[in-house]
Amino acid sequence: MAGQRHPVVPTPHGAVRGRYEQGVAVFRGIPYAAPPFGPRRFRPPEPPEPWDGVREAAGFGPTAPKPPYSEAFARYLSDPEIPGDDCLNLNVWTPHPGPGARLPVLVWLHGGALTRGSSAVPVYDGSTFARDGVVCVSVNYRLGVEGYGLFPDAPANAGLRDQLAALEWVRDSITAFGGDPDRVTLAGQSAGAISTGALLAAPRARGLFRRAVLQSGAPEASDRDKVRRMVRRMASRLKIPATAEAFAAADRGALLRAQAEVGRFSSPVLGGPAFGIVVDGDVLPVDPLEALVEKDAAPGVDLMMGWTRDEYRLWLVPGGLLERVDRLGAVALAGARARCHCGNEVVRGYRALRPGAGAAETVGQLVTDHLLRVPLHRVADARPGSSYVYEFAWPSGLPGLGACHALELGFVFDSGDRPDSRRLAGEGAPQELADAMHGAWVRFVETGDPGWRAWDATHPVRVFGDGAPHTAYGPRDAEFDLWKADVAVRAMRSGSPARR
């Protein structure tokens, strides 16, 4: 099979023909579920219709409906749009198509705030993982109101259900592509990491993956009322009932425009209404963070988790929001305190730890810790010995971005030579840093050990991009201690046990 000009591989629904590219077999746009439109709109995914003969899998399949990034963000982030209804598709890169290889598998869930992004983003080129002996699978799933709208007449979490269907496809199909279904690592960044956290807690996902990587996203469940407000505001703009039936009958373009309008203030810092994964009593019966910290969900699954040093700069620099937050000063700090549900002592502690920092940096780091670092720290504390934590610290060559959210992706995928990676990193990204990070991810997928000390009472954090890769011990413990003290004070006042 590997000697054919174009590799052909069977799947449960029909054979697919890929392409050899620089020694790697690539299959793009393979459907893992039926198009989620018509009578399937806002419903759980269904298997695709089988096909006769051989289906061409040379080009990326359609992307899920999504609004474009604003002009300010589009300068830094690429987001290809490929038209078509058959958007529940995935891609496979493999060095050895065929059932005998039994190679480790990486399944990638893209980011984009659950409203944007796709597997066609050039930075996510899986050929480098295949080059290094890993079968790489990247997945499209429903986004925005199509995937995460909350309606009285439709099941919740359609996008999460899509991801489950993709994992089940991997279980049933990946052997024919040279992969081992018993050696699957699920990985994602931002919304993809939040999704990975939810799947760790989803009973239906048990046994579908052995390891997980959470990059700049923590296990969380969104407040149901917050998601409903998004749907209701869209319905008000569209002058239709807030039901799946009414939304399914609406013009798709009008839906996307309304979604973009009501989602203008849904950034992590601003904290407005946003789409998100919710506890639904079915696919996700309990809050994922609670499941992982208190209920020992996903036993036996190794975890690698981390963040970038300046996550917040991608949220604040585009559009000049960073300067506006600095000008607001104390008002912005008060808003951050409310956003993070913390006391004054936490804000004062952050200012003492960073005496030269402006309001924007203090606000940004507070929100980053509240959303990402503190919950990931809790997960690692609950799973010592099988958790590995990292921090990405290399600053972008572009003004103001620092080591911002999503910057590590070009290094993890070793795709820094792509123009799309340079849009965020600038010129001159160090190849040795890509070698170190990509190599660590490959080792984790292969063995569960990325090459540094597992989490224990010393809190080891592997730092990439601040000099040579090295392990720091407890580098953010001072901040975490502020949050723990704040929770203890609140618990004492309320008479309830502290849980952070």
Q: Which among 252, 386, 395 is positioned nearest to 311, based on CA atoms? A: 395
Classify domain 1-69+77-300 at the CATH superfamily level.
Answer: Alpha/Beta hydrolase fold, catalytic domain (3.40.50.1820)
Choice among 311, 361, 408, 479 that is catalytic? 311
Q: Is 288 in a helix, a strand, or coil?
A: helix
Choice among 405, 438, 446, 459 that is catalytic? 405
Distance CA 112, CA 176 (A): 31
Half-sphere exposure of 455 (CA within 13 A, CB side): 19
Name the percent of the chain in helix, strand, coil, to the closest 5. Answer: 40, 15, 45
Q: Which among 12, 11, 13 is positioned nearest to 27, based on CA atoms? A: 11
Distance CA 292, CA 313 (A): 29
Half-sphere exposure of 98 (CA within 13 A, CB side): 10
Average pLDDT, 10 consecutive residues per value, the chain (500 residues): 75 98 97 97 98 98 96 95 98 96 98 97 98 98 98 98 98 98 98 98 97 98 94 97 97 95 84 91 96 93 98 94 92 92 95 94 96 97 97 97 98 96 96 98 98 98 98 97 92 68
11 - beta bridge partners? Answer: 14
Model pLDDT, residue 3:
47
Model pLDDT, residue 269:
79
Cβ-based neighbours of 475, under 8 Å, separated by 6 or more: 391, 459, 461, 463
Q: Which among 310, 312, 473 is positioned nearest to 389, based on CA atoms? A: 473
190 catalytic per annotation: yes
Total residues belonging to the chain: 500
Buried b (16+ CB within 10 A) or exposed e, 182-193: ebbbbbbbbbbb
Query: Which region, left, alpha or beta, applies to residue 400 given φ > 0 means left and ψ of -120 to 50 means alpha?
Result: left
Cβ burial, residue 340 (10 Å; 0-12/13-18/19+): buried
- E-strand ranges in 50-88 read 54-56
Choice among 119, 127, 190, 396 that is catalytic? 190
Model pLDDT, residue 212:
98
49 catalytic per annotation: no
The residue type of 38 is G
- pTM here? 0.96
Domain extents for the chain?
Answer: 1-69+77-300
